[in-house]
């Protein structure tokens, strides 16, 4: 007879009750099965009403005199529907006349959307689905685009074929600015990478693509006025103006604004390769290959700088129709300014007391240029100075407090702090960050309205076209939900359940976050069967935050191959999360039949895996990264099994054993090959509980944060 | 103690000795580990010499005054190298000056290749790799392209990183015409499908892309002279002339000729939608949606037909620089001709006695037009008539005998019979087909030279852009080896071993034959975990030959969704092949340690899988296809386990049991959901051997051939 559940149950009483945390969110219970993300503002299932079947008889009904964008939206929807259902050759009916037979999705919008999509345009929609007919209504085409995204997520395979459940949805976004920044400078991202990610963005109702086009390491836009920008500043990897127009149109068709960023006056080495006269120190310059913050900065003291920028921004403003223009403005270390006597002289002459004043002067001049070309300036926290006009937008990498400060001064802002995808945080961490919480929580309602939303950031030091999708997806969908759904939609368990399904659903867009994972492992393993590598890699995660460089043997640069285990591993291990959940159930006395079996099976697999990994690691330099991790995993698995044995025997594990194991678990959790074995915290809990202790959370080691 | 191996060993003596069949081919033993396909004509490993490492210091050395194509070939090679190694950002050195450090691949060709690639151009090359330097020499750029493909296949991950073994290779193709036909008419294949398959073709040294651009179901080329061809004949799915030029250039850069096919006078309904006056019966016509052979045919009796074709071919000839132009010419059923009195009259007036004569007349006229526009005519077997000039080329879907007949009459020919990828034959079956065997074996050497090679054909009734790669790859690599490698390279085991590795290696080109398989299964399974579906689908194969339509509940057409289990399943199951090999070892008494364990593990997994498949199948119409197959698999697995039990006990299985099981195995092998459970033949052998019988081959059921 097993007695240990009693011990565990007692322990559970004294531990923090997690019951409440993981209970389903209010109102979602019955609808849990729906694969919807972001969760709509209002949704009701029509009880008793059958689903609407989507087969070859399905058609989309356009209103009379549909505007061109609505028709385009319907075409994109039908194409996406073909991809999601695999009915690629189906010529679904698209018409402004009701069909004789078959199911129908009828679209109705009161007015066309703006010619160029605007911030704050109405995105609301209402969707009612019955067995034979669905009605999607919205004030504008933009709402129709959002409603079509919802409809598409509702299409699921059923015993009757593909079908949409009978639902009644009324939905609108919580924030008007919901974006993704893609850094095309540090690693160039080809057009198809951008397009498939725009598809994914539209699928989760994001509406701003923030395109980071220049930085120390590369200038990625073709300028016809200043061709040396791309000719000398890009290694040949840049977007032509035609390609930019293609992307802008592609995004617009999906209800996504494109905001370009040209980072100035710092982060600008790539400009200076072709135009050293813009810099604050004499050249020549070459493209930066390292990562970090560097000295080169534009010279704010020379009129020629502003003349150049006037012409450049004039050219770029025509390419990007959006009202906003991002000037970066972050991380100017001022060293080039300090070293330049002419700049000192200029500062004295203009009463500028320090570099911050000098940058403010630059920004003020820049703002006038940006405004002259019809754009509103946007920039990172650092640009905030009271002398700038109040219509500019502050993007905060510093956090809600910084944002609240901006808003109190009358500016509009959006949050990116907490949404950095390159830091390898779990989806739950991003999901828990609310633009209106923390330092912004106490703002009056009128000020809160000035917080426009947020943007996830995909900084590109450690991503290539091969693995960038795996850093963006599926976690971006959780951020998208935070920015679209009502404030009260915060349940983690529901989020993860839906995220897992959205994760695979997104494959239909050609996103490679799932498909490239086995391919990269296969390459690492060479001709060997890669499954043991996969068992291991399934439970590791890259070290967090900015720790990777410090953990690398050689300083990584722009040409460091991103083909290692750390590049293949996912930012968040679903298997480790599952294991933690199982162990949590066990240690909190909420065991279900099979829970212990599942834990034991996983531990047994991990314990045996090491001897399978070893021969692979011996034949491949890349797979050799797996050795220390695999050893750690085997050790952890043995420890876990021993702990379970104590629990099964109803025997309290001896102190000495416990201390030894806790030390060993901590050691196993140290980063190796820039990776973390993410099952260690759960193993620690097993050890603690088997020794009659209250389980505690093992934090990520300092070196890996 | 186990006694049954003795029984089995005795049985093995009386069975056909397979030992010889599966012995390694002469000379390949030591080199077996190399992932090379096609196998080179001559290869020696440099014993004692270490591999050449490929890292960031690797560079390609061009000869002085390298021609543009050579430079382009080197660039493509380096890009492919980046993709294969995942070193995407590496700016490998490409120069005509020897580098100071690092490993080098030096290229040297005696002369540039022809401006437009010609049939029979020299493709030979010599590649010598030492620890620090590789030398690739060839008479022309074309040989360099082939040698680079070899070098790329040799790059493998090792304990030192990516490296190429020290080898000495002298290589040239056996046949000058090695092609793949892609049917873009029955299902349109977007540009990226064509491009990634051209990448794959170049990787296995194929040199002809035969583009089947028109048929009953669609006309896929933009004609500016006759725009209604694509406007009314394509459902909007066609290639623009710019896209065609892009593909032709893309292919040329990879040493691949592009031969367009416009099928006439039959297979031509799609022409008649826009231009009914070309047909032999009055219109109107609409695009054919069904599969099969249909009546519409061009009217050979009207001069206007030839004027049209003259202008059309004149336009097309400019787009496709290749010397050959394929006019199809197959499967004219003659019904429209029979029904047209004016055509009868014309035949009488010209002394044409039957439809074959009429088609010959048409072909003779057509050949003059083709020749007038500078092209050599090519067509299927049916066009062969002694009155056509001897320079035309016959492509044979009928077989070596038909080919030999053509050659005896002085024509050149190439083989496609035996290389139809849509028939779902195993790679070994294609591999065993030699253009110079069978009916062509007795030809004198001079005539044999007129057999130019062969072409694999990817007819597109049952493929979509989503699964077409999985029908082409990896089997095409085996055909490519047949057409390139020396006649004596015929060992199946070696072929399969290398094919399995090439299979995954090809993923780097973005080919989706591996990646789309789990995605399609995931869609079929809906939100459920798809792994039980995968266990099942891993051992089934689509029914063979032309049996699919007859096995379908509804007649499949051009708009039938190709999203079912049969569309996801691979043409050849590697798992079933593995299982057959294991059982073969067991029944022939060549057991190794672990063989029986592996068999038992597989059988146990299959037996238990049925109860996991069922709940998935109940929630998805698409997954319901799995039910009868899963039942059959479970039954087969139980039978197999019982047979093993008899063998383990050293007990001869009773007659009654044996008869019951053999009947049950046969039933389980009947096609279900258009699929075959491919482990049935091996289970039959287990049953037979357990009953003391000689094992025999179970053939594919008649309905599934």
Confidence of residue B32 (pLDDT cuts 50, 70, 90): low
* Strands of A161-164's sheet in order across: A52-53, A161-164, A156-158
Confidence of residue B48 (pLDDT cuts 50, 70, 90): confident
Please report residues of B whose CB lies closer than 8 A to that of A525.
157
Task: Give pLDDT tens digits for A84-112.
Answer: 999 988 878 888 888 888 999 999 999 98
Instruction: Calculate mean pLDDT across residues A224-239.
Output: 97
**Are A86 and B561 in contact (CB < 8 Å)?**
yes
**Min Cα separation B33/chain A (Å):** 9
Beta bridge partners of B584: none
**Are B157 and A88 in contact (CB < 8 Å)?**
no
Query: Which chain B residue is nearest to residue A522, measuring alpha carbons?
Result: B504
Task: Give pLDDT tens digits for B661-697.
Answer: 999 999 999 999 999 999 999 999 999 999 999 999 9
Cβ contact A307:A287 at 8 Å: no
Instruction: Calculate mean pLDDT across residues B217-228.
Output: 98
Look at residue B390 and tell me whether its pLDDT is greater than 60. yes
Cβ contact A466:A562 at 8 Å: yes
Task: Pick the range with the lowest mean pLDDT from A6-15, A228-237, B289-298.
Answer: A6-15
**Are A85 and B561 in contact (CB < 8 Å)?**
yes
**Min Cα separation A481/chain B (Å):** 20
Residue A31: predicted pLDDT: 60
The SS3 assignment for B324 reads: strand
Q: Which of B87, B376, B620 is nearest to A560 (CA)?
A: B87
Q: List the single best residue of B86, B155, B461, B499 to mutate versus A (max A Cβ within 10 A).
A: B86
Say what angle helices B680-690 and B626-649 make with each other, to 10 degrees. 30
- The DSSP H or E segment spanning A230 is helix A228-233
In this structure, how many other beta carbons lie within 10 angstroms of the beta carbon of residue B4? Answer: 21
Residue of B331, B500, B598, B631 marked active site: B331
Dist. CA B496–CA A337, nearest whole Å:
66
Please report residues of A whose CB lies closer than 8 A to that of B563.
85-87
Q: Judging by beta carbons within 10 Å of its beta carbon (0-12, 13-18, 19+), is residue A702 exposed, middle or buried? A: exposed
Tokens (6 digits) for A324 = 């906003």
**Min Cα separation A677/chain B (Å):** 24
**Are A161 and B88 in contact (CB < 8 Å)?**
no
Task: Pick the range with the lowest mean pLDDT from A5-14, A365-374, A647-656, B218-227.
Answer: A5-14
**Min Cα separation A541/chain B (Å):** 20
Q: List the single best residue of A54, A55, A89 to mutate versus B (max B Cβ within 10 A).
A: A89
Q: Which CATH architecture has domain A177-487?
A: Alpha-Beta Barrel (3.20)
Confidence of residue A4 (pLDDT cuts 50, 70, 90): very low
Cβ contact A189:A469 at 8 Å: no
Tokens (6 digits) for A254 = 């999906």
Q: What percent of chain B has pLDDT over 90?
A: 89
Dist. CA A333–CA A469, nearest whole Å:
32
Instruction: Calculate mean pLDDT across residues B488-508.
Output: 96
Residue for token pair 């968040």? A572
Q: List the single best residue of B35, B56, B75, B88 to mutate versus A (max A Cβ within 10 A).
A: B88
> Is B29 considered catalytic here?
no
Look at residue B22 and tell me whether its pLDDT is greater than 90. no
Task: Give pLDDT tens digits for B67-84.
Answer: 899 999 999 999 999 999
> What does the mean pLDDT of chain A come to?
94
Cβ contact B644:B603 at 8 Å: yes
Look at residue B19 and tell me whether its pLDDT is greater than 50. no
Cβ contact A155:A81 at 8 Å: yes
Beta-strand ranges (E) seen in B345-409 are 376-380, 393-396
**Are B157 and A620 in contact (CB < 8 Å)?**
yes
User: Which residue has better confidence, A12 or B70?
Assistant: B70
For residue B552, give every residue at least 6 positions away whose Cβ sits within 8 Å of its Cβ, in sequence order, or none: B674
Instruction: Calculate mean pLDDT across residues A661-675.
Output: 98
Query: Which chain B residue is nearest to residue A160, measuring alpha carbons?
Result: B621
The SS3 assignment for A686 reads: helix
Q: Which of A597, A563, A579 is nearest to A680 (CA)?
A: A579
- Looking at domain B42-171, its CATH class is alpha beta
Please report residues of B whose CB lies closer than 8 A to that of A527.
33, 35, 156, 501
Dist. CA A547–CA A701, nearest whole Å:
10
Each domain of chain A, given as residue ranges in start order, spans 4-21+515-704, 42-171, 177-487
**Min Cα separation B319/chain A (Å):** 25
Beta bridge partners of A40: none
Confidence of residue A21 (pLDDT cuts 50, 70, 90): very low
Q: Which of B512, B576, B567, B518 is nearest to B542 (CA)?
A: B567
Dist. CA A624–CA A613, nearest whole Å:
9
Instruction: Calculate mean pLDDT across residues B351-355.
Output: 97
Known catalytic residues of A are 331
Residue B89: predicted pLDDT: 83
Instruction: Calculate mean pLDDT across residues B549-561.
Output: 94
Q: What percent of chain A has pLDDT over 70?
A: 95
Residue B42: predicted pLDDT: 96
Cβ contact B244:B192 at 8 Å: no
**Are A157 and B619 in contact (CB < 8 Å)?**
yes
Q: Which of B119, B624, B693 is nearest to B412 (CA)?
A: B119
Please report residues of A whose CB lies closer than 8 A to that of B566.
none
On the question of a cis peptide bond just before residue A108, with omega within 30 degrees of 0, the verdict is no
Look at residue A478 and tell me whether its pLDDT is greater than 50. yes
Burial B346-380 (b: 16+ CB within 10 A, else e): bbeeeebeebeebbbbbbebbbebbeeeebbbbbb
Task: Give pLDDT tens digits for B577-620.
Answer: 999 999 999 999 998 999 999 999 999 999 999 999 999 999 99
Dist. CA A516–CA A522, nearest whole Å:
10
Residues written for chain B: 705
Query: Which chain B residue is nearest to residue A506, measuring alpha carbons?
Result: B519
CA torsion, ordered A180, A75, B557, B464, to nearest 10 deg: -30
**Are B89 and A520 in contact (CB < 8 Å)?**
no
Task: Give pLDDT tens digits for A147-201.
Answer: 999 999 999 999 999 999 999 999 999 999 999 999 999 999 999 999 999 999 9
**Are A561 and B160 in contact (CB < 8 Å)?**
no
Residues written for chain A: 705
Look at residue A15 and tell me whether its pLDDT is greater than 50. no
**Min Cα separation B340/chain A (Å):** 35
* pTM of the complete model: 0.94
Tokens (6 digits) for B363 = 């072909």
Dist. CA A471–CA A311, nearest whole Å:
36
Look at residue B10 and tell me whether its pLDDT is greater than 90. no
Of A89, A235, A515, the CB nearest to B558: A89
Tokens (6 digits) for A232 = 């000398």
> In angstroms, what CA-CA distances link B123 with B41, B109, B126, B287, B311?
12, 11, 10, 42, 35
For residue A702, give every residue at least 6 positions away whose Cβ sits within 8 Å of its Cβ, in sequence order, or none: none
**Min Cα separation A387/chain B (Å):** 42
The SS3 assignment for A107 reads: strand
Dist. CA B691–CA B665, nearest whole Å:
15
Look at residue B120 and tell me whether its pLDDT is greater than 80. yes
Dist. CA A573–CA A542, nearest whole Å:
10
**Min Cα separation A442/chain B (Å):** 41
Instruction: Calculate mean pLDDT across residues A214-233.
Output: 98
Residue B15: predicted pLDDT: 35
Instruction: Calculate mean pLDDT across residues B117-142.
Output: 97
Of B501, B523, B618, the CB nearest to A86: B523
What is the DSSP code (8-state) at residue A557?
B
The SS3 assignment for A138 reads: strand
Of A501, A561, A623, the CB nearest to B86: A561
What is the DSSP code (8-state) at residue A280?
S
Q: Which of A314, A272, A231, A35 is nearest to A152 (CA)?
A: A35
**Are B524 and A157 in contact (CB < 8 Å)?**
yes
**Min Cα separation B495/chain A (Å):** 15
DSSP letters of A296-352?
--B-TT-HHHHHHHHHHHHHHHHH--SSEEEEE------HHHHT-HHHHHHHHHTT-
Dist. CA A119–CA B258, nearest whole Å:
50
Of B89, B527, B562, the CB nearest to A464: B89
Q: Which of B192, B292, B199 is nearest to B251 (CA)?
A: B199
Look at residue A314 and tell me whether its pLDDT is greater than 60. yes
**Are A161 and B90 in contact (CB < 8 Å)?**
no
Interface predicted TM-score of the whole assembly (ipTM), two decimals: 0.92
Look at residue A484 and tell me whether its pLDDT is greater than 50. yes
Chain A / chain B CB contacts < 8 angstroms:
133
Cβ contact A439:A404 at 8 Å: yes
The SS3 assignment for A214 reads: strand
Instruction: Calculate mean pLDDT across residues B514-525.
Output: 96
Confidence of residue B28 (pLDDT cuts 50, 70, 90): very low
Dist. CA B683–CA B663, nearest whole Å:
12
Q: List the single best residue of B621, B622, B624 to mutate versus A (max A Cβ within 10 A).
A: B621
Of B56, B88, B235, the CB nearest to A466: B88
**Are B86 and A562 in contact (CB < 8 Å)?**
yes
Dist. CA B173–CA B299, nearest whole Å:
42
**Are B90 and A622 in contact (CB < 8 Å)?**
no
**Are B559 and A156 in contact (CB < 8 Å)?**
no
Is the domain spanning B177-508 CATH 3.30.750.24? The answer is no
Dist. CA A607–CA A522, nearest whole Å:
22
Terminal Cα distance for chain A, rounded: 43
Q: What percent of chain A has pLDDT over 90?
A: 89
Instruction: Calculate mean pLDDT across residues A394-409.
Output: 95
Please report residues of B whose CB lies closer than 8 A to that of A523.
84-86, 157, 508
Please report residues of B whose CB lies closer than 8 A to that of A152.
none
**Are B560 and A515 in contact (CB < 8 Å)?**
no
Residue B52: predicted pLDDT: 96
Dist. CA B482–CA B474, nearest whole Å:
14
Burial A484-523 (b: 16+ CB within 10 A, else e): bbeeebebbebbbbbbbbbbbbbbbbbbbbbbbbbbbbbb
Look at residue B232 and tell me whether its pLDDT is greater than 90. yes
Look at residue B25 and tell me whether its pLDDT is greater than 80. no
Q: List the single best residue of A561, A575, A619, A623 to mutate versus B (max B Cβ within 10 A).
A: A561
Burial A285-311 (b: 16+ CB within 10 A, else e): bebbeebeebbbbbbbbbeebbebbbe
Residue B47: predicted pLDDT: 79
**Are A464 and B86 in contact (CB < 8 Å)?**
yes
**Are A620 and B158 in contact (CB < 8 Å)?**
yes
> In angstroms, what CA-CA distances link A311 with A366, A388, B387?
12, 22, 71
Q: How would you classify the pairing of strands A540-542 and B156-158?
A: unpaired
Residue A527: predicted pLDDT: 83
Task: Pick the range with the lowest mean pLDDT from A294-303, A574-583, B58-67, B77-86.
Answer: B58-67
Look at residue B7 and tell me whether its pLDDT is greater than 70. no
> What does the mean pLDDT of chain B come to?
94
């Amino acid at each position: 007879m097993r007695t240990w559940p009693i011990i565990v149950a007692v322990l559970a009483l004294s531990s923090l009750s997690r019951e409440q945390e993981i209970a389903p969110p209010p109102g979602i219970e019955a609808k849990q099965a729906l694969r919807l993300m972001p969760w709509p503002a209002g949704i009701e299932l029509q009880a008793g009403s059958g689903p609407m079947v989507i087969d070859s008889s399905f058609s989309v009904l356009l209103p009379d005199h549909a505007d061109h964008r609505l028709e385009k939206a319907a075409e994109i929807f039908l194409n996406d529907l073909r991809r999601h259902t695999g009915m690629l050759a189906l010529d679904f009916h698209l018409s402004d006349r009701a069909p004789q037979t078959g199911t129908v999705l009828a679209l109705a919008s009161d007015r066309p959307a703006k010619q160029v999509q605007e911030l704050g345009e109405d995105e609301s929609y209402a969707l009612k689905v019955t067995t034979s007919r669905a009605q999607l209504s919205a004030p504008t085409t933009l709402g129709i685009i959002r409603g079509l995204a919802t409809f598409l997520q509702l299409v699921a395979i059923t015993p009757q074929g593909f079908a949409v459940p009978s639902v009644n949805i009324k939905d609108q976004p919580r924030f008007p600015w919901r974006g993704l920044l893609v850094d095309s400078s540090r690693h160039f991202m080809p057009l198809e990478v951008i397009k498939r990610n725009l598809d994914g963005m539209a699928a989760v109702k994001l509406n701003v693509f923030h395109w980071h086009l220049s930085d120390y390491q590369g200038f990625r836009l073709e300028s016809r006025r200043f061709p040396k920008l791309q000719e000398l500043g890009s290694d040949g990897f840049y977007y032509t103006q035609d390609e930019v127009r293609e992307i802008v149109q592609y995004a617009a068709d999906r209800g996504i604004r494109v905001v370009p960023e040209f980072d100035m006056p710092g982060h600008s080495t790539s400009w200076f390769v072709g135009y050293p006269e813009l810099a604050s120190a004499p050249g020549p310059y070459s493209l930066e290959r390292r990562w970090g913050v560097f000295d080169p900065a534009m010279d704010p003291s020379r009129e020629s700088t502003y003349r150049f920028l006037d012409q450049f921004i004039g050219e770029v403003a025509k390419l990007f129709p959006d009202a906003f223009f991002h000037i970066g403005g972050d991380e100017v270390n001022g060293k080039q300014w300090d070293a330049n006597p002419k700049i000192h002289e200029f500062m004295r002459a203009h009463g500028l007391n320090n570099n911050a004043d000098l940058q403010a002067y630059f920004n003020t001049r820049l703002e006038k240029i940006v405004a002259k070309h019809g754009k509103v300036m946007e920039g990172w926290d650092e640009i905030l100075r009271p002398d700038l006009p109040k219509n500019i937008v502050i993007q905060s990498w510093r956090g809600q407090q910084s944002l609240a400060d901006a808003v109190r001064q009358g500016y509009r802002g959006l949050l990116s702090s907490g949404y950095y995808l390159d830091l390898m945080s779990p989806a739950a961490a991003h999901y828990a960050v609310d633009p209106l919480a923390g330092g912004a929580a106490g703002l009056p309602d009128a000020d809160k309205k000035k917080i426009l939303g947020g943007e996830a950031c995909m900084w590109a030091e450690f991503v290539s076209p091969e693995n960038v999708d795996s850093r963006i997806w599926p976690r971006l969908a959780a951020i998208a939900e935070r920015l679209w759904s009502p404030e009260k939609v915060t349940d983690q368990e529901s989020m993860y359940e839906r995220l897992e399904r959205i994760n695979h659903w997104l494959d239909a867009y050609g996103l490679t976050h799932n498909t490239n994972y086995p391919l990269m492992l296969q390459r690492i393993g060479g001709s060997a069967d890669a499954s043991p590598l996969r068992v291991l890699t399934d439970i590791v995660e890259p070290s967090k935050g900015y720790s990777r460089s410090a953990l690398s043997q050689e300083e990584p640069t722009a040409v460091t191959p991103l083909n290692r285990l750390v590049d293949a591993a996912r930012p968040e291990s679903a298997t480790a999360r599952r294991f933690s959940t199982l162990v949590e159930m066990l240690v909190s006395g909420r065991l279900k039949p099979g829970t212990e079996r599942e834990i034991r099976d996983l531990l047994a697999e991990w314990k045996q895996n090491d001897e399978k990994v070893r021969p692979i690691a011996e034949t491949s330099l890349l797979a050799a990264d797996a050795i220390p991790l695999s050893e750690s995993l085997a050790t952890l698995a043995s420890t876990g099994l021993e702990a379970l044995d104590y629990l099964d025997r109803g025997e309290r594990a001896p102190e000495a054993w416990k201390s030894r194991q806790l030390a060993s678990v901590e050691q196993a959790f140290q980063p190796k090959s820039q990776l973390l074995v993410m099952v260690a915290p759960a193993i620690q809990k097993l050890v603690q509980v088997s020794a009659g202790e209250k389980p505690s959370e093992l934090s990520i080691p300092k070196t890996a944060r």
